[in-house]
Amino acid sequence: MSNRKKVVVIPGDDAAPEAVYPTVDLLRSLELDIDFEFPPSGGSAEETHGTGFPDETRAAIDAADATLYGAGSTSSAEIVRYLRWGKGTYANVRPARWVPGCKSPLAHPEKVDLIILRENLEDLALGIGGDLEELFSLGLASKRAGRSLQQIAQEFGGGKYALKVITEGGAERIVRYAFELARERRAAGKRGKVTCGTKHNLIPEPDGLFRDVSARVAEEYPDIEYENWLIDDFARRLIVEPEEMDVVVLPSLYGDIFSDAAGGLIGGLGLCPSGCYGDDYAYFEPIHGTAPDIAGQNIINPTATIRTAGMMLRHLGYANTADRLEAAIDAVYAVEDRLTPDQGGSATTTEFCNAVGDHLA
């Protein structure tokens, strides 16, 4: 049986493909035993196949060892839905590590080396919501406002709701993942600490559950430091004492928001990779969106996508090559050579990737 790995590449929409294609070229230059496949997807597949997610693309994802995903607009939404809920990729690992040369707004960005671990499948990410009227028959009331939901809605002419859903099992597996990750980081010489953030005073049901589960799981890991902050207090701490953060485990929405914030601390979204892991599958995507405002200009910063590819290589068993790739990126920043405009340079995406390639050679 061949040991070759198969990676499905979904380039995504707007500016995302401009980062993905040269990233795959870099990976190919490493001459690993990986085959890259580009099944039809997104906007172009809508034109040719009448859907952004044809059956053959789903089959390719199923047959692959991992998927590398750029960033998608609505035409790729079904693909993401499948990669997340279809594949059970509940753990979204979002590292934020500053390296010299990156344009951080902080005086001491060298303190930032953390991971936002975002629960990927529950919370507001489930997308359960609708018109308030749908809930009237449940007889819900606000103790704080002293009124029924119906009264509140009718007074203000109706409205919408979204459900914040957190399950015990969903919370437990992501928190456990956080502690295992912290142990790995400690073994690698890092702090090895878990921080949890919730708004359990305002939202005692789902956020209280998440906090209680995290505190319970923490007792099983006495070797790992653990703390829980109210999410607003966490926001302040992330800015004033980022060196206190190592693995930060958060429900989906907070994880989404604070991974962008952590990205801001190190110099912007163009630097931030991520991997989404489940028990049987993993896919990899930068945390940024499709950057439509800079599409077609060949100036998107591919660092996030290349580091994302590095996380994928690690997952596929190529840890040494992933280290080489990371070191090559760091070297480009260290000499502030051929940086893209978001980092104060004037290089194109292509020129940045060539610089990484030169340091790899």
Binding site for ligand ATP (CB under 6 A): 269-270, 288-291, 293-294, 300-301, 304, 342
CB distance 262 to 96 below 8 Å: yes
Q: How far is the CB of 81 from ligand ATP (least distance, A)?
A: 14
For residue 309, what are its two tokens?
Answer: 């590819």
Nearer to ligand ATP, 104 or 290 (CB): 290
| Least CB distance to ligand ATP at residue 257 (A) | 10
Q: Nearer Cβ to ligand ATP, position 12 or 40? A: 12
CB-wise, 159 or 344, nearer to ligand ATP?
A: 344
Q: What are phi and psi of 74, to 5 degrees?
A: -60, -30
CB of 73 to ligand ATP, least distance (A): 8
Q: Which is nearer to ligand ATP, 15 or 178 (CB)?
A: 15
With respect to ligand ATP, which residue has the nearer C-beta, 192 or 273?
A: 273
> 278 vs 286, which CB is nearer to ligand ATP?
286
Alpha carbon distance 329, 281 (integer Å): 27
How near is the Cβ of 82 to ligand ATP at its closest, in Å?
Answer: 17
User: 39 CB contacts (<8 Å, ≥6 apart)?
Assistant: 8, 10, 54, 56, 57, 60, 61
Closest separation in Å from C-beta 349 to ligand ATP: 8
Q: Where does the chain have alpha helices with state H? A: 16-29, 42-49, 55-63, 77-81, 149-155, 168-187, 206-218, 231-240, 252-266, 303-315, 319-334, 349-360
> Which residues are CB-contacts of 315 (< 8 A; sequence separation ≥ 6)?
66, 275, 277, 282, 284
Beta bridge partners of 37: 8
In whole angstroms, how close is the CB of 150 to ligand ATP at the nearest point?
34
Give the whole-angstrom CA distance, residue 299 versus residue 297. 5
Q: Which residue is nearest to ligand ATP (CB)?
A: 289
How far is Cα 197 from Cα 255, in angstroms, rounded to an integer?
A: 9
Nearer to ligand ATP, 96 or 291 (CB): 291
Minimum distance, C-beta of residue 208 to ligand ATP, in the bound complex (Å): 28
